[in-house]
Amino acid sequence: MKEIDKNNKSFEDIKHIDENGIEFWYARELMPILQYSKWENFKKVIEKAMIACENSGISAKDCFPDVRKPIISGKGKEELIEDYKLNRYACYLIAQNGDSRKKVIALAQTYFAVQTRKQEITEKEYSSLTEDEKRFYQRNLTKKGNYSLNQTAKNAGVKNFDKFHNAGYKGLYNGETADDIAKRKGLRYREDILDNMGSEELAANLFRITQTESRLKRDKVNTEKKACDTHNKIGKIVRKAIKEAGRSYARRVINTSKEFKTIRKRK
């Protein structure tokens, strides 16, 4: 147990938290803990992990963003060295693709698997939830997603956030703004429309949110107009997919926000 505790503490010691409260690790700092002495060898493991990430349907660029760090060389010149900013899943994949003969690799696999598990539930567990529990779970994800999207949108030059979010709603809801959706659902003043959506509708909005954030970052959007246009475009893409699946979100969810708060308190 001492060895496990020691290594787990090491993983914790090199963990960083970004401005959005998201934890991450630097590959250069993870390398010695996983007992790799040469970057060239460790990079091969990272490359294998990136391929595994893409094969799982997740963008490697999102999990393994390339970052360059300035260092002072032996000759006194400033040089940039290669590094990666890794999320939990990236670290887990690196451990999965590491040298299995090393005991620390097994410890890393356990550590990052447990850390990831704390944040997610399996598909089987999700399917066993009641509709209210699914709504609660999806609502929490959309709340976190919107917070992260707002930070990315701010960096992209967005100042009018009502306009930015309505651009996304218009794309997803065929021209309807947040106020239009609230009126159609028959909501009272200041009732949150997201608190009055079913789990599938929340999932559709979460997909809109995450894909918009990803596109803003990938395209390096730097104006409010481009950000709004991107949000609207992603909303339309999600709407088209929903339409092809034969879904409609025109009906108001029975539970009111007050009832939703009751569900939240039971958790």
Each residue's pLDDT, cut to its tens digit, for the chain (267 residues) gives: 233 334 444 677 888 888 777 789 999 999 998 989 999 999 999 999 999 888 877 888 888 999 987 777 667 777 788 999 998 888 888 988 888 778 788 777 766 765 555 556 666 677 777 888 788 888 888 888 899 999 999 999 999 999 999 999 999 999 999 999 999 989 888 788 988 888 888 988 998 998 899 889 989 999 999 999 999 999 998 888 877 766 555 333 333 344 444 444 444
**Over the chain, what is the mean pLDDT?**
81
The per-residue pLDDT for 113 is 65
- The amino acid occupying position 262 is T
The per-residue pLDDT for 118 is 54
The per-residue pLDDT for 248 is 55
| 148-162 per-position pLDDT tens digit | 999 999 999 999 999
The per-residue pLDDT for 199 is 86
